Structure 1
Amino acid sequence: MTRTYVIDGAEVTGLDSFWRVIGEAVNGPGGYFGRNLDSFADCLSGGMGTPDDGDFAIEWRDHERSRTALGRDETVRQLQLRLRRSHPLSRDAIQEQLDRAKAGLGPTVFDWLVEIMEERAPGALRLL
């Protein structure tokens, strides 16, 4: 039987709140299911609250509200944070992504999350 985890898009106001919402959806109040893109991808691969057989769905309700909250402004903010913390050899590539985001180009934080879910848990994501 497929286990369904529900993300309430109205509660997603930025990437930090997304980590809380997905953590609680999968593992209950205060639950963990990643706090950055890499750990989120790892969690989707199993062993962090989802069934071992991979039979689960993520139902993202009111996802358009989340798409807005995780849109251009949040993408610029996240890339600025990434740039400040990055290794000097990575800065040019991140700066290029940041410049594109400021120009309204390229994927958003919402797109990053959806791509990770589709890659690590194919067919599990349901955008409602």
Structure 2
Amino acid sequence: MTVTYVIDGSEVTGLDRFWDVIGEAVNGPGGYFGRNLDAFADCLRGGMGTPDDDDFVIEWRGHALSARALGHEETARHLRDLSGRAHASNLPRLRQELARAEAGLGPTLFDRLLEIIRDETAPGTLRLL
């Protein structure tokens, strides 16, 4: 039996809120399902609430609202935050990504989340509604 996890795009107002929404969708109130991109990818690989047999669907309703909330402005905010605690060897890349995000260019956090879901789950797992 396929399990469906629903993300309500109207509730995603930024990256921090996305972590709350996906955590609750998968693991109930107060649930955890990653608090950064790497942890999110790890959770999607299994063992953190999703069925072990990969028989699940992520249904992202109102995804266009999330795409706006997780757009270039939020991406730039996230990259500024990362820059403050990144290893010196990562700073040039982060600064370049930040400049692009501030100019409204390059992939957004929404794009990155979709990429992670598609990379870490079976084809057809993600449904954008």
Stretches of 4+ aligned residues off by more than 6 angstroms: none
1:46 and 1:3 map into 2 onto residues whose CA distance is 14
1:73 and 1:126 map into 2 onto residues whose CA distance is 25
Query: What is the deviation of 1:102?
Result: 1.1
Query: For residue 105 of structure 2, what is the amino acid of its counterpart?
Result: L
Query: For residue 50 of structure 1, what is the amino acid of its counterpart?
Result: T
Secondary structure at the counterpart of residue 84 of structure 2? helix
| Runs of 5+ unmatched residues, structure 2 | none
| Runs of 5+ unmatched residues, structure 1 | none
After superposition, residues 33-72 of structure 1 pair within 5 angstroms as 33-72=33-72
Match in the other structure for 2:93: 93
The number of residues matched between the two structures is 128
1:121 and 1:96 map into 2 onto residues whose CA distance is 29
After superposition, residues 69-80 of structure 1 pair within 5 angstroms as 69-80=69-80
Secondary structure at the counterpart of residue 85 of structure 1? coil
1:114 and 1:9 map into 2 onto residues whose CA distance is 13
TM-score normalized with structure 2 length: 0.98
Match in the other structure for 1:103: 103
Match in the other structure for 1:20: 20
1:120 and 1:49 map into 2 onto residues whose CA distance is 15
TM-score normalized with structure 1 length: 0.98
Query: For residue 66 of structure 1, what is the amino acid of its counterpart?
Result: S
2:32 and 2:9 map into 1 onto residues whose CA distance is 18
Match in the other structure for 2:115: 115
1:115 and 1:67 map into 2 onto residues whose CA distance is 13
Query: What is the deviation of 1:6?
Result: 0.1
Identity among equivalent positions (%) equals 65
